[in-house]
Amino acid sequence: MERSKFRILVIDDDEIARDVVVSLLSKEGFTVDSARDGIEGLAAVKKNDYHLVITDLKMPGADGIEVLKSVRNINPSTAVVILTAYGTLDNALEAMRLGAFDYVTKPFKLQQLLIVVENAMSRSILREENEELRRILRETYRDLETIKSIRESGSEIVIMSTLERIGRLSDRGVLDRDEAELLREELMKGKTDAARSGSR
């Protein structure tokens, strides 16, 4: 995933701190939005798909804990990083228990925050890869079930379509060459058997 495709929302009622974080991450190539408080931030989360939300812990209205809980309800795949002062470290640890990806204590070094963001991006990439793998596996299951169901049908159109799908799965590496060849043989056998039956 390119950094420009990794969407981040920064929520902080401190305008200076918010602008510093937005500026840093924007210069690093990330796509960054900002919100002045938790309520405005949650409204943005409902409208947009963010990979990461960076939120201050102590804010008027909806604080960081409320933001965390709401974000996890709206989109569980969105990572949440808590910004906290040393005096509220216990609250940050509570946020971790509630599912925050990480926390950063103020004042923080910009490089420290960048490392946390990059880690969140790596997790997001892994999550998307896992989702793609599950999708492929579901498709594979459907294909194998299709092969099983049409094995003896002898329908040339269906068999040719299934052969093409086997080829796609083989190209993706979901099926190795031996598995793909075996399935092709089974399909062609079904076609041959059906042809013999039809000639009787």
Chain segment 53-91, per-residue pLDDT in tens: 999 998 888 899 999 999 999 999 999 999 987 666 777
Please tell me the CATH code under which domain 3-129 is placed: 3.40.50.2300
Query: Which segment, 35-49, 106-120, 160-174, is predicted with the most confidence on average?
Result: 35-49
Query: Which segment, 52-56, 58-62, 133-137, 196-200, is predicted with the most confidence on average?
Result: 52-56
Q: 154-180: per-residue pLDDT in tens?
A: 567 767 777 787 777 777 766 667 777
Q: Is the pLDDT of residue 194 over 50?
A: no
CA distances from 157 to 19, 160, 161, 163 (A): 61, 5, 6, 10
What lies within 8 Å, CB to CB, of 5 at 6+ separation is 31
What lies within 8 Å, CB to CB, of 73 at 6+ separation is none
Query: Token pair for residue 20?
Result: 């510093």
Q: Is the pLDDT of residue 196 over 60?
A: no
Contact 162, 188 (CB under 8 A): no
Distance of alpha carbon 19 from alpha carbon 34, whole angstroms: 8
